[in-house]
Structure 1
Amino acid sequence: MDLISVVSGLLPYVKYSVVILIILFVGYFVYRKFFYKQYPIRLSTFVCITLLICWAVVVVGITTLSRPANFTGQVNISLFSGYINAWNKWSLFELQLIIFNMVMFMPLGALLPLLHKKNRLFWRVLVLSLVVTLSLEVFQLLSGKGIFELDDLLHNTVGSLAGYFFMMGIIEVIKQRKLKLAPVVRAIAIPLSFAVLFGIAAIVYEVQEFGNMPFKPAQKQSMEQVHVQLETTLFDQKAGACIYYNEDIRNKKVIKDIAHSIAKQFQLQQVGGLRRESENLSFAFVDAEGTNYSLSYSITNGTWDWYTDHLDENPSPADIKQQRQLIEDWLKKESLLPSEAIYQQQDERTIRWDLAKPENRQTACEDFSEGMIIATLSHQQKPESLFYMISNNEMVAKEPIISQKDAYEALVNGEFSLFNPLQKGDTLTITDVQLTYAYDTKGYYRPVYEFTGSVNDPDFVVAITIDAMQ
């Protein structure tokens, strides 16, 4: 999520709010002319009520109405799971969600004291904020358009209180006609506390040797009444494993350089700037004929793909020899094609280059590259798509790892997550375990155990990853 995405999501509901605002103000002037003497309502009170209605439209729209009903019955009562998730992934996206949930409710806390003097009491604003955000969470749960989360309840309430303290500071300064330290401190206390918290987390993260493992769960998988059946042999010996480093992971300069090179090579015009959506960075392009192209880079593994949304339904044959040469020349010029890559033609429009997998990453302890490049050709002098999945890994250290049995104990204790969580009565059957590798959030390629098996049905295959360096 970036600023453009947030604004794009808010814009439709802001438009509705503006329409409501205009209608209410027109209605107010009619009321002032015909009914004010019988039923007097101050303009300030009316403005506060109107702004609260507009705020409610935007909040309900962005949190429920804009979503499909895909979350039926989902509840997350693990407090602070959002912080753990943001830490494990070291993700700006997850951090933005926390901040956005607080900022979204600041208008509520700021407007309540202006609505009525009784709302200048802390406990009253606290209760009203809890009631409003709890109602929203229950509505999301019942409608299936969101997850009931304690973290959201916390952040929405804290955001409302931040708005309350800020507005009360302004009211106090206006009332006393001079600036005092106490109301200023109260006004900035909540945002300052979170700034300190995030700052400490950033310092801790920077001084630790390796990054965090993104696949680690924010909350443990509940293994209560889940039957785990082991159908493979586990070894108890501990060993050491090589650690590698990939400088392309989470490196914005990499994708910016590729974007510049692609635009120059294929004569494209860049549209807008760098965008972020979850764990992907992206650029948009257009050619002279108006065809749109996109470049998407995954910060988690350093791979990227370039593609067009305009596909030929009846494509004419591509000049494979010529286009292969053009692509190869460009990849070599940008040092993107290793000399040991093996070329092959996959079909009449698809070509690829493959690198052999290293025999034993755990003990070889040598620099290596792995992966592939796949290009789908077109009748134009540029490919329809190009998928770049080559990673260059530099050996940096050797570290002790836990045994397979230790990793299995972590699995039995629920130290993993699945897209579809296990339920009471499920049978998890483990049929194999392998030592493999995964990137952490600093770009280190670290050993992990991957348990494969099934849930209830042999056809319902699952893979569970456990950190081998616990």
Structure 2
Amino acid sequence: MRLQEITSIVRDYFFLAAISVIVLGILFFLGYFVFYRKFFGGKKRLPKKQLLFGGLFAGYVIMVIGVTFLNRGSNFQGSMNLSFLSSYREAWYSFRVRNWQFLLLNIFMFVPFGILLPLLHSRFQKAIWTFGAALLFTLSIESFQLITGFGIFELDDLFHNLLGAIIGYGILKGLIRIKEKEVKKAIICFSPLLLVAISFGGILTFYHLKEFGNLSIVPIHKTEMSKATVTMDVKLNDNKMTVPVYKAPSYTKTAADAFVKDFSKRLHLDTSNMEVISYQDEGVYWFGRERSHNIWFKYLDGSYRYTDFSSFDEDKELKDADESTLKEELTKFGIDLPQDTYFQKVETGTFKWTVNKRVVANQLIDGSLSVNYYSDGTVKRIDNQFVTYDKVRDVEIKSEQEAYKEILEGKFKYFSENKRIKTLHIHKIEVSYYLDSKGFYQPVYALQSTVDGEDMTLFIPGI
């Protein structure tokens, strides 16, 4: 999620909260002046401080409800995740900005709770009351999400929200201690915020000091294998091997912009009104006043998808062509296919070239390129996943037996609601490669298997 998207969500629900508070304020004052003061003769006056903080707290609660419920559909019926800190494991293995953003947002979303509640009522000056109220509020949100399907009941969310309230309470008390010139006590109050900052800073520092990145194929949860029947057609080797690690040609945003502009000029596209939406790992480029063309470009390895949206016109139909015609058409895009590619027709008008880990000197070429060819004799869609990797160095990897042991222990990613496997048959095991979060092409073991009657490939990290 980009910063612009986050600020947009906050802005939208800020206005919703502001309007709601105004409406509630009008109703409240009508009740106070018309009924309490006029009809019942009440004399008690409302403290301005409580009115101010009451309005702020009401607006804050409305914003939280908007973000947690109104910002998503009811697509998660009955979903629960009670695995503590699993969100950190997911964020670590994928190492995407989006995952870390959600963790931090869940923490800091409750910071205002810890600040405003003690200001609203003297009872919540005591930590136990504020923390108890925060726990009750976040538990209510998670339970309502579980019942309605507007989210997942997550143990980590309870932890993050409560931590946020503790940080907010600590900030408020710390500022009070500073005002009273009690510096040591102020530092203790700020310690929850400092510990979170140090923890996240330590994670980022450790990650950037690592030579290689993290692999998203590492499982967050173990697969249940205790009652699985495991068979195989292969004999496993117990010797460790030495194999190369490669590096993808990663791009900066500036380099990606230059590539896309050069690509566009070949097609005589007007780049003066080019719209660019940048994410952590990719950029989305739009051309034309009516967004007639589009390119998704991955910074991590230089692969991209191109679409000419005239392909959706009623008079445009997919059409077959021979390989030489398609190659000639691809030269207009500046695309030269690697040698020894395997060409195939996928379906009418859809064609694909594939290279399977071809080593040339100190480089490895891997991937595929798919195109759609249309009745007007042009290619209007390209999915270019061909990547040329440069060798970094040789590394020693686990033996096949060690990889198999991790399979038996359930240390592999298995996409199924039921994490329990009954039967597993391994047909083949080989060293393959997987792109990590830093753009390194790491060696992994690929086990071609049949799991409970379904064919799939299981991956185990090699390093």
Give unpaired runs (5+ residues) of structure 1: none
Q: Deviations over 1:337-376 (max 9, x none)?
A: 3563769795886566x464346x6xx8741223333343
1:131 Cα offset (Å): 1.4
Give unpaired runs (5+ residues) of structure 2: none
1:369 counterpart (352, 365, 371): 365
8 Å CA contact 2:276–2:286 kept in 1: the answer is no
| Equivalent residue number for residue 200 of structure 1 | 202
8 Å CA contact 1:280–1:296 kept in 2: the answer is no
Cα pair distance change 1:160/1:309, threshold 3 Å: farther
8 Å CA contact 2:248–2:441 kept in 1: the answer is no
8 Å CA contact 1:270–1:284 kept in 2: the answer is no
| Equivalent residue number for residue 442 of structure 2 | 446
Q: 2:399 matched to 1:403?
A: yes
Any residues of structure 2 matched to 1:328-339 within 5 Å, and which? 328-331=331-334, 337=336
Cα pair distance change 1:436/1:58, threshold 3 Å: same
CA distance in 2, matches of 1:54, 1:3: 22
Cα pair distance change 1:450/1:69, threshold 3 Å: farther
CA distance in 2, matches of 1:425, 1:318: 44
Q: Deviations over 1:409-468 (max 9, x none)?
A: 101111122221434574344443332111122222122112233343x2x333321112
Q: Which segment drifts farther, 406-415 or 19-28?
A: 19-28
8 Å CA contact 2:275–2:287 kept in 1: the answer is no
| Equivalent residue number for residue 222 of structure 1 | 224
- Name the SS of the counterpart of 1:422 in structure 2: coil
- Name the SS of the counterpart of 2:356 in structure 1: coil
Q: Which segment drifts farther, 45-54 or 371-380?
A: 371-380
1:144 counterpart (143, 149, 156): 149
2:388 counterpart (385, 392, 395): 392
| Equivalent residue number for residue 238 of structure 1 | 239
2:456 counterpart (426, 446, 462): 462
1:121 counterpart (119, 122, 126): 126
Between Structure 1 and Structure 2, how many residues are aligned?
452
1:60 counterpart (54, 60, 65): 65
Structure 1 counterpart of 2:123, one-letter code? K
2:213 counterpart (204, 207, 211): 211
Q: TM (normalized to structure 2)?
A: 0.84
1:292 Cα offset (Å): 4.2
| Equivalent residue number for residue 340 of structure 1 | 339
| Equivalent residue number for residue 356 of structure 2 | 357
8 Å CA contact 2:142–2:152 kept in 1: the answer is yes
**Structural RMSD (CA):** 3.4
1:202 Cα offset (Å): 2.8
8 Å CA contact 1:84–1:218 kept in 2: the answer is yes
Any residues of structure 2 matched to 1:143-292 within 5 Å, and which? 143-173=148-178, 176=180, 180-182=182-184, 184-186=186-188, 188-224=190-226, 226-249=227-250, 251-265=252-266, 266-270=269-273, 272-276=275-279, 280-288=281-289, 290-292=290-292
| Equivalent residue number for residue 26 of structure 2 | 26
1:85 Cα offset (Å): 2.1
Cα pair distance change 1:467/1:421, threshold 3 Å: farther
| Equivalent residue number for residue 423 of structure 2 | 427
CA distance in 1, matches of 2:319, 2:458: 42
CA distance in 1, matches of 2:245, 2:284: 29
Q: Which segment drifts farther, 62-71 or 388-397?
A: 62-71
8 Å CA contact 1:106–1:160 kept in 2: the answer is yes
CA distance in 2, matches of 1:318, 1:66: 42
Q: Which segment drifts farther, 130-139 or 184-193?
A: 184-193
1:98 Cα offset (Å): 0.9
Cα pair distance change 1:13/1:308, threshold 3 Å: farther
1:298 Cα offset (Å): 3.9
Structure 1 counterpart of 2:126, one-letter code? L
CA distance in 1, matches of 2:400, 2:341: 35
1:418 counterpart (414, 420, 424): 414
Q: TM (normalized to structure 1)?
A: 0.83
In percent, how many aligned pairs have the same letter?
A: 23
| Equivalent residue number for residue 81 of structure 2 | 76
Q: Deviations over 1:173-225 (max 9, x none)?
A: 55x4xx5534653564333322322222233223333222221122322335x
1:114 Cα offset (Å): 0.9
Structure 2 counterpart of 1:77, one-letter code? L
- Name the SS of the counterpart of 1:161 in structure 2: helix
1:13 Cα offset (Å): 3.3
- Name the SS of the counterpart of 2:368 in structure 1: strand
Structure 2 counterpart of 1:52, one-letter code? F
Structure 2 counterpart of 1:114, one-letter code? L
CA distance in 2, matches of 1:60, 1:427: 44
- Name the SS of the counterpart of 2:219 in structure 1: coil
